């Protein structure tokens, strides 16, 4: 008797679950992998976008054929509360201005490895994607980007922009000056030989990555009148052929905490090179590409430095007798 009851209840539950599912639940479509806990879906090999389970908020398309990204293509996603969209190697050439305008919860968007994507289409869709916090435009093979790519975005919420791993030869801070909310900019792995920071003063810039470019000098972070152009906390200049540093290389950076100078090309380190950085806590200077043959005694003079990473520089500390250790006595906060 009790057994029968249990069976009946189980059956009833199963049936109602099935009915419920067919009413509201959309199963994970073929060619997609959905993960309930991450609220994500990853889809490949598609020409159109199927309906996705209602819990999906983060979608990555990879290896699809979405030549034009438009509101029509994205129609099925408008049933979900989409927070992030990544288009990686999606064969995209064009993005229509209003493609994302219905996605009010979209905060993260990427178009990566889309070598046919026309950079001129970016401003119009950015201007209509109102709640975006982060845009990644990486590995698209761009040699240049339009001056107006980020123009007209005074009211946007964009905090992070990445143009990493293109072949961009020229860009300057003035390209980003309308993006008042900007905090992080990644221009690493491009072909920049210079970078003019004038224009950052109208943003909230904190972190700049210009690593893996062709800079011969540390860019000036001061504006034309010697005023600061931003409130930088982190600078990454890794792997640039910078051949000389001195105390004036790091002006107007009074809030800088982290400085990455691995793989640069200096032969000597002069006294007080980092002394004008009163908040500097972490300095990385590994694998200099040429032999550092001279380090002046108070080169690392700093009242704030806590972590110094200085290896693989072919600098023989043992040759310079006891001045080696005295050198670090000028960095009172340095933890050995
Ligand atoms: C929406 O998805 C359904 C099935 O999931 C599909 O049949 C339909 O073609 C899709 N609509 C668009 C506009 O892609
Ligand atoms: C990709 O889609 C376009 C039309 O949208 C079509 O002309 C082209 O043949 C498709 N390419 C592949 C590889 O399926
Ligand atoms: C989506 O955005 C709308 C409008 O900005 C907001 O009211 C709503 O709470 C958001 N939903 C989620 C799940 O974040
Ligand atoms: C962005 O949109 C505003 C109106 O919403 C318009 O005034 C402005 O010109 C647009 N900017 C660009 C670059 O399209
Ligand atoms: C940097 O750009 C500003 C305007 O955007 C210009 O006035 C200034 O001369 C430039 N600085 C250099 C060194 O080219
Ligand atoms: C710079 O940032 C620090 C925190 O990182 C903050 O305390 C300071 O007020 C900021 N200064 C300006 C001028 O925005
Ligand atoms: C620092 O180096 C720059 C060139 O990189 C030079 O113009 C400047 O005069 C030098 N400053 C000092 C104090 O040596
Ligand atoms: C170390 O730097 C501080 C701050 O710039 C300066 O006042 C001090 O004289 C320097 N010490 C030496 C030994 O040069
Ligand atoms: C570098 O600083 C040390 C210690 O403060 C001082 O003895 C030396 O003369 C300085 N070297 C130069 C080139 O100014
Ligand atoms: C220590 O090295 C300096 C050069 O780096 C040299 O001038 C000096 O004579 C050396 N002192 C001793 C005691 O070896």
Per-residue model confidence as pLDDT tens digits over 268-291: 999 999 999 999 999 999 988 788
CB 196, CB 219: distance < 8 Å: yes
- β-pairing, 68-69 vs 84-88, is unpaired
Residue 110 backbone class (left: φ over 0; alpha: ψ -120 to 50; beta: rest): beta
Task: Look at residue 136 and tell me if it is in a domain.
Answer: yes
* Residue whose CA lies nearest to ligand 10 atom number 14: 321
Give residues with Cβ within 8 angstroms of 192, minimum separation 6: 168, 169, 170, 171, 210, 213, 214, 215
The CATH number that applies at residue 51 is 3.80.10.10
pTM of the model as a whole? 0.88
Starting from the CA of residue 301, give the closest ligand. 8
Per-residue model confidence as pLDDT tens digits over 245-256: 999 999 999 999
* Total domains present in the chain: 1
Task: Look at residue 296 and tell me if it is in a domain.
Answer: no
> Among 16-30, 129-143, 177-191, which stretch is predicted with the lowest mean pLDDT?
16-30
Per-residue model confidence as pLDDT tens digits over 175-216: 999 999 999 999 999 999 999 999 999 999 999 999 999 999
Residue 26 CA, ligand 1 centroid: distance in Å? 12
Residue 335 CA, ligand 10 centroid: distance in Å? 26
Can you give the C-alpha Rg of the chain in angstroms? 26
Residue 272 CA, ligand 8 centroid: distance in Å? 7
* Residue whose CA lies nearest to ligand 1 atom number 2: 50
Task: Look at residue 174 and tell me if it is in a domain.
Answer: no
CB 136, CB 113: distance < 8 Å: no
* CB of residue 297 inside a 6 A radius of ligand 9: yes
Starting from the CA of residue 70, give the closest ligand. 1
Parent domain of 59 = 29-140
What is the helix (H) or strand (E) element at residue 9, kind and residue range? helix 2-24
Closest-lying ligand 4 atom to the alpha carbon of residue 148: 13
């Amino acid at each position: 008797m009790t057994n029968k009851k249990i069976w009946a209840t189980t059956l009833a539950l199963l049936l109602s679950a099935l009915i419920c599912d067919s009413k509201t639940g959309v199963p994970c479509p073929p060619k997609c992998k959905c993960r309930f806990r991450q609220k994500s879906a990853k889809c490949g090999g598609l020409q159109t976008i199927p309906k996705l389970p209602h819990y999906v908020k983060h979608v990555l398309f990879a290896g699809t054929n979405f030549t034009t990204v438009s509101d029509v293509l994205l129609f099925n996603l408008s049933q979900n509360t989409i927070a992030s969209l990544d288009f990686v190697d999606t064969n995209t050439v064009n993005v229509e201005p209003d493609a994302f305008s219905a996605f009010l919860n979209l905060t993260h968007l990427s178009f990566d490895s889309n070598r046919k994507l026309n950079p001129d289409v970016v401003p119009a869709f950015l201007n209509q994607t109102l709640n975006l916090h982060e845009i990644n435009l990486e590995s698209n093979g761009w040699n240049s980007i339009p001056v107006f790519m980020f123009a007209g975005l005074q009211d946007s919420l964009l905090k992070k922009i990445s143009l990493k791993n293109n072949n961009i030869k020229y860009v300057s801070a003035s390209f980003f000056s309308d993006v008042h909310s900007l905090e992080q900019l990644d221009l690493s792995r491009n072909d920049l030989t210079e970078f003019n920071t004038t224009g950052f003063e109208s943003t909230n810039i904190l972190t700049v990555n210009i690593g893996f470019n062709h800079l011969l000098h540390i860019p000036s972070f001061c504006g034309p009148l010697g005023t600061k152009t931003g409130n930088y906390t982190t600078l990454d200049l890794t792997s640039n052929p910078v051949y000389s540093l001195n105390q004036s290389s790091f002006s107007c950076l009074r809030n800088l905490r982290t400085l990455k100078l691995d793989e640069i090309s200096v032969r000597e380190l002069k006294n007080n090179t980092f002394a004008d950085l009163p908040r500097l806590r972490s300095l990385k200077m590994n694998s200099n590409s040429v032999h550092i043959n001279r380090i002046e005694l108070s080169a690392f003079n700093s009242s704030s430095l806590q972590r110094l990473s200085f290896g693989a520089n072919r600098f023989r500390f043992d040759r310079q007798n006891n001045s080696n250790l005295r050198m670090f006595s000028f960095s009172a906060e340095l933890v050995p």
